Amino acid sequence: MQKRKLGKSNLEVSAIGLGCMGMSFSYGPPKDKQEMTSLLHAAVERGITFFDTAEVYGPFLNEELVGEALAPFRGKVVIATKFGFDLSGSDNQPGAPGVNSRPEHIKQAVEGSLKRLKVETIDLLYQHRVDPNVPIEDVAGAVKQLIQAGKVKHFGLSEAGAQTIRRAHAVQPVTALQSEYSLWTRTPEKEVIPTIEELGIGFVPYSPLGKGFLTGKMNENTTFDSSDFRSGLPRFTQEALKANQALIELLGSIAERKKATPAQIALAWLLAQKPWMVPIPGTTKLNRLEENIGAVAVELTPGDLREIDSATSKIKVEGARYPERLEKMTGL
């Protein structure tokens, strides 16, 4: 497995990471703990060293799973987690908790994450969503104190806008930004990617396979259980799934030529954008994990990339990525 450094930091991780959310949260009921533990071990065996979790996934279940499963590999893997939601009523439904990034809350959240992850130091700590009620300088200052106390190594932001990133970075250098980015969500290209490139911050695209859509395994007849959060996303309505098939046809034609899968082309496209970009596709299946890892070996030439850009510029993606209430929490 190739390695990459996140921006100008010394944080080196596998070129593809593993998003662990779906093992416990959002995509239906939590999966079998033993099966997910085996999958996490299989990921380490295949060279993945970068694992993504958050306290809100469950809440708490996912950090416990990841902490226990990866305990034998301490020092060999990098675990990223996130704070920023108010989980005082931890029976919250997905998407229900409000944001809370008050400094005292951050410190409490970190103590909980350290215990669940069974570590003395969190490798990479993201603010999960920007809290409009707390100046980002206060957030960065709280994380800076945690870094000085040896409880956190690196500071990250998730779904933050360019100005927020600059203001945070001025207080405590930001190692990585995690935001949704893929062939069907290109928003970060306008302001965010140029900003983090200038500041030397790494980029961790989440949902790099469009929450499963870019694998080519969905069509307008695909339905989602009410426990699957995609059932409430505008981009996963029957009309949007039908309208967005043009993107799958494009990926499919390139995949055929490259003897790869649409998912591998979507991930290879991200890897080809910048050397400091590390996508974190999530999966609960070993065959998908192996398919995703295979993307690292797919070589897209400058000509391939021009062709993809030219073709995608003519495709209008239908449907917002989140309902309005959740969309308001991004890009602040």
Q: Which residues are catalytic?
A: 57
Integer Cα distance of 233 and 142 in angstroms = 34
3-class secondary structure, 98: coil
Integer Cα distance of 35 and 240 in angstroms = 33
Residue 158's CB: how many other CB atoms inside 10 A? 21
Considering only CA atoms, give the Rg of the chain: 19
In DSSP terms, 78 is beta-bridged to 50
Integer Cα distance of 19 and 283 in angstroms = 7
Query: And the tokens for 240?
Result: 């949007």
Length of the chain as a residue count = 332
